[in-house]
Amino acid sequence: MIAVEREWKPRILGLGGTTRPASTSERALRAALDFAERAGAQTDLLLADDLAFPAYAPERGAPEPRVERLVDLARRADGVIVASPGFHGGPSGLIKNALDHLEELRGDERPYLDGRAIGCIVCAAGWQATATTLAALRSTAHALRAWPTPLGVTINSTPAGDVDPVTAAAPQLGLLVEQVVGLARWRHAAAEVEVGA
């Protein structure tokens, strides 16, 4: 009998959106995860309702089930895609709070998001907030030991004519996903070589 090796599928965690269903950031995140699935990845999606938990406070003790789910999915993720609205020059409190809860990964063998790619998507009603929010998300990603992808996607959610902003950003979203999935595959291949050595 011939053993057939199954193709390894990276696991990509998407988190983001706003409390408004079908917000631009939610639609952009869903589009990015669709690209990831077409690239052969497994995906997990956490939206506003999944991320609406109390402000991070380490002294609280055991986290609630929704926080445990976030931490578990982040622990198993080979890459992460975050989509946030730009609120007054930074990410929404909802998204920042979710990222703060990843402090629960500090004691892991692979702490925080160490060595994993994180793709950052920012949506706002104007370009100024997208740029400052993207810089803030990238800084947070670095603090979590992740590797922000070279491309971060900014989307002006104010439509220009009949053009849907998320549809217009599809080429950039696809490239961001290529970078997240590509790094995950590269790291997996490097680990396989190391194990085989």
Exposed/middle/buried for 66, CB within 10 Å: 0-12, 13-18, 19+? middle
Domain at 178, CATH number:
3.40.50.360
Q: What is the mean pLDDT of residues 168-194?
A: 94
Confidence of residue 159 (pLDDT cuts 50, 70, 90): confident
Tell me if 3 sits within 8 A of 34, measured CB to CB: no
Instruction: Show the domain range for 63.
Output: 11-196
Q: Torsion angle, CA of 94/95/96/97, rounded to 10 degrees?
A: 50
Task: Report if residue 136 sits inside a domain.
Answer: yes
Does residue 196 register a pLDDT over 70? no
pLDDT of residue 3: 41
Instruction: Please state, for a pLDDT cut of 70, what percent of the chain lies above it.
Output: 95
Total of domains in the chain? 1
Task: Report if residue 2 sits inside a domain.
Answer: no
Helix residue ranges per DSSP H, 109-169: 127-143, 165-168
Give the helix/strand (H/E) hosting 186.
Answer: helix 170-196
